[in-house]
Structure 1
């Protein structure tokens, strides 16, 4: 469960896309868990070869008018994508179609700066291609690339899991509850900030602040992360203040969002761009405390929360407690989501790009 795969699922199941376009989908299957992402394995080689022949088959027999591909900026996945691009570029000599490569993370600039070969291969890969970026903040990624056709910008969007009645019920529950449930929901790697969230929980305990509970949800990246989390909770006696819910989906995930009052996202992940979890939090009317990474500052402003850092995290948390835990603030967060970040807006904007 990571951003690119979730966006891919939303496109696969999009009524807007599938009603307006005749589509064929191929799943890019390589990493089976978080630990495998970015690492070489023979299993990945096998899946890459299967992917190559599936693409080749559809180029021969489906003959698309456009190709949309979720690509990777570097690592083994880049060379896999480069291999896949060979038949795509070759068949374009006979069948006219537009190619769209959607980037969900940074890395192009770093990769093309490593060597002249990386730069040349990336220019070959992007030759005549439309690049789709999540945010204008990513445009500098192509400073070393001149071969692309055009850049499109496409904000992420997420499904709305509640209606007006459901949201009013959430507001009622929040007003009746004295407990401030703080939610961290992301992959459980330190770069995403679960360790920083734990330190905030410890500070809250040391200050003897009452009626606050920290909830963590997400998949573990490694056993070392699991051990760090459990040892920190045990050593600092945070068992009654911290609860880990595991990898959550469906109703369990919705209940966590609905019962929370604050969403905490202290990520320092260098590939962070436009986190879907922030959009999900806004959809439930949750004020956000987030670190200023990627395009987070384009999502989080003073109307929906606070940008912070490790040194000012407690100050930001206290400010949220004082000024944002009320119906007006909750509704503002929800309205921001409805105005900018619904799945329908994302799918409509993608459809317009593909038709362009």
Structure 2
């Protein structure tokens, strides 16, 4: 059995890359196929400091460096998997810790995989010739893992890698077949549409757009729609904006904020929802985990054209909208997408493409075949 060293993000904090890391860490498929050791990339204690520099990151970097050196010396992996960052302090951290990995690879036959969950490689290398040289140095003779073919343009200026492969994200379902049918039965028996926003509470992810939609629902006299928001605040300003907006327009009976949810609370929100909204305009959006989670509950999706969202959503399972049309599109979805048949179609889309088993099996095949 090959030894594999996984250097990756996992919760906390909760974000797209850490959710993928959680699934790798807990994967029965990977543990059966590989003798795996895991090192956590610590960079942020909460989502509000992601992308920002602070003193803790230096300490985390030093800790990471020595853990990697120790593992290379005593664990001696044949496979190294690394969750890479395309720019910023995290890029330079990856660059420095790659040095002992490159030295180790010269002394042993080792396959190295860099998995990118975010955009930014191309914009970073375009800033200067030095950035381009450093990125090419980092990725020399490696296999690059990208989560969507839409990201292929990210490495158009990189020419030192050995191979590039694409692997969609996957998520674990918390519902068996019987549970799902019970959830569907409860949905169709309700006379109220329940709209769920579950993502990080930053404006780029669109919670402000949904708040505007809530206001329009109230002003239109529609009393059969409720909105639930869940996620972690990015800043105090975001929290104040949300609370002030709800108070100013008296939306308390229409909009409920549940905070950062996990476990049974998260399951309850997905189960009780009838439509999932993902109005992201985040420039670095790629393959959102929350959309896949919604599909695992059979929820139709109302999303914006960000990242690979338009590749995930088709006319059978949802609508690609925009800020100007979201209110009208939501009303149409309430009429056309809240049905037993449609909930089942959404669930089948998940089962055929986005289960955690599909992701874990493909990742294991990639790691063991190179």
- The interval holding the TM-score normalised by the smaller chain is over 0.9
Say what the alpha-carbon RMSD is for the aligned residues.
Answer: 0.6
For residues 323-334 of structure 1, the aligned pairs below 5 Å read 323-334=336-347
Instruction: Give 3-state SS (helix, strand or coil) of 1:32's partner.
Output: coil
Partner of 2:357: 344
Partner of 2:266: 253
Partner of 1:180: 193
Structure-1-length-normalised TM-score: 0.99
2:342 and 2:185 map into 1 onto residues whose CA distance is 14
Partner of 2:323: 310
Once the 2 structures are TM-superposed, how far is the Cα of residue 210 of structure 1 from its aligned partner?
1.7
- 1:38 equivalent to 2:51? Answer yes
Once the 2 structures are TM-superposed, how far is the Cα of residue 175 of structure 1 from its aligned partner?
1.5
The equivalent position to 2:154 in structure 1, one of 133, 141, 147, is 141
Partner of 2:139: 126
Partner of 2:310: 297
Partner of 1:3: 16
Structure 1 gaps, min length 5: none
Name the stretch that deviates more: 224-233 or 175-184. 175-184
**Residues 263-302 of structure 1, C-alpha deviations (whole Å, 9 max, x = no match):** 0100000111000100010010100000001011111110
Instruction: Give 3-state SS (helix, strand or coil) of 2:302's partner.
Output: strand
- 1:170 equivalent to 2:175? Answer no
For residues 225-240 of structure 1, the aligned pairs below 5 Å read 225-240=238-253
2:353 and 2:76 map into 1 onto residues whose CA distance is 34
Once the 2 structures are TM-superposed, how far is the Cα of residue 171 of structure 1 from its aligned partner?
1.0
Name the stretch that deviates more: 7-16 or 29-38. 29-38
For residues 188-203 of structure 1, the aligned pairs below 5 Å read 188-203=201-216
**Residues 281-326 of structure 1, C-alpha deviations (whole Å, 9 max, x = no match):** 0010100000001011111110100001011111211221111000
Instruction: Give 3-state SS (helix, strand or coil) of 1:127's partner.
Output: coil
Instruction: Give 3-state SS (helix, strand or coil) of 2:38's partner.
Output: coil
**Residues 95-144 of structure 1, C-alpha deviations (whole Å, 9 max, x = no match):** 11110000000000000000111111001001111100000000000111
- 1:160 equivalent to 2:160? Answer no
Which stretches of structure 1, 4 residues or longer, exceed 6 Å deviation after superposition?
none
Partner of 1:16: 29
Partner of 2:128: 115
**Residues 181-217 of structure 1, C-alpha deviations (whole Å, 9 max, x = no match):** 1000000000000000000001111111121100000
Once the 2 structures are TM-superposed, how far is the Cα of residue 40 of structure 1 from its aligned partner?
1.3
Instruction: Give 3-state SS (helix, strand or coil) of 2:107's partner.
Output: coil
Instruction: Give 3-state SS (helix, strand or coil) of 2:62's partner.
Output: helix
Once the 2 structures are TM-superposed, how far is the Cα of residue 145 of structure 1 from its aligned partner?
0.8
